[in-house]
Amino acid sequence: MVVQTVIHGYPPNTDNDTQLIRVRLLRGQKIGRRDLFGVCSPYCLVRLENSNGDVVDEVQVETKRKTRHPVWNSVFTFRVTRSCQLKLLVYDENRLRKDSLIGFVSRSMDDSRISTQAPNPEEYPLATSSTSSKGKSIGSLLLTFHFVPSSSDNSPADSTADLQQQQTTSHGMPQGWEEREDGNGRTVYINHALRTTQFTPPESIPE
């Protein structure tokens, strides 16, 4: 069984010299800070910008309620040019006020360190333009970036087994599990299939 990949970014018939890049957003760590209203409810915008800073395309990743350690385990494929940059912007969803930007990660597409081999997940600290938050830790994202080999450009697809592997890495949660933070700041693990919770991390799904 083959799952067809949705490609974001530039259309395939664009005049620019393009290639595909795959982004894996596994999780956030220590996102935002605890305040009088409790912990944040973060979501992420994965945004492609051109060399002028204009938005080419963007995808919103679901909100994770009341946690500083959101687990997304999401994979996106973008058609990009080397003059573009990808930004992952983390917002705190607020139902009463305007959503606030917590921080962002930016990666230039002409970075020579991005290869065609899927790398191990790497921790990227969130940056901020707020003067009040500069020098303070506002969390990080666990990410991977790699270009899709050109032979796959016309038919980019992931096998079901590959998608399952992406969802059950040691850095994320096994399928059906979710990590949250309770009112006392403790990390709890929720098994949605069994409707149970525990304080110890779940074991990986056996192969």
The 10s digit of each residue's pLDDT in 56-114 is: 999 999 999 999 999 999 999 999 999 999 999 999 998 888 999 999 999 999 999 99
Q: Is residue 47 part of a domain?
A: yes
Q: Is the dihedral of CA 14, 15, 16, 21 positive or negative?
A: positive
Token pair listed for 199: 């304080």
What is the span of the domain harbouring residue 70? 2-172
pLDDT at position 48: 97
- The H or E element that residue 160 is part of is helix 160-167
Mean pLDDT of all residues in the chain? 80
Token pair listed for 19: 């290639």
Q: Is residue 35 part of a domain?
A: yes
The SS3 assignment for 175 reads: coil
Do the beta carbons of residue 102 and residue 91 sit within 8 Å?
yes
Q: Is residue 193 part of a domain?
A: no
How large is the greatest C-alpha to C-alpha distance in the chain, in angstroms? 54
The SS3 assignment for 129 reads: coil
Q: Is the dihedral of CA 84, 9, 122, 45 positive or negative?
A: positive
pLDDT at position 182: 58
Q: Is residue 205 part of a domain?
A: no
Q: Is residue 198 part of a domain?
A: no
Q: Is residue 72 part of a domain?
A: yes
pLDDT at position 134: 61
Compute the radius of gyration of the chain from its Cα atoms.
18
Query: Does the pLDDT value for residue 167 go beyond 50?
Result: no
Q: Is residue 149 part of a domain?
A: yes
Token pair listed for 178: 């979710």
First to last CA, the chain: 18
Domain count along the chain: 1
Q: Is residue 34 part of a domain?
A: yes
**In terms of Cα–Cα distance, which of 81, 70, 55 is closest to 25?**
70
CA 95 to CA 89: how far, in whole Å?
A: 19
Main-chain phi, psi angles of 85, to 5 degrees: -140, 150
pLDDT tens digits, one per residue of 130-157: 655 566 789 999 999 999 987 544 444 4
Look up the CATH number of the domain holding residue 42: 2.60.40.150
Return the exposure string of 173-187: e unless at least 16 CB atoms fall within 10 Å of the residue's CB, then b: bbeebebbbeeeeee
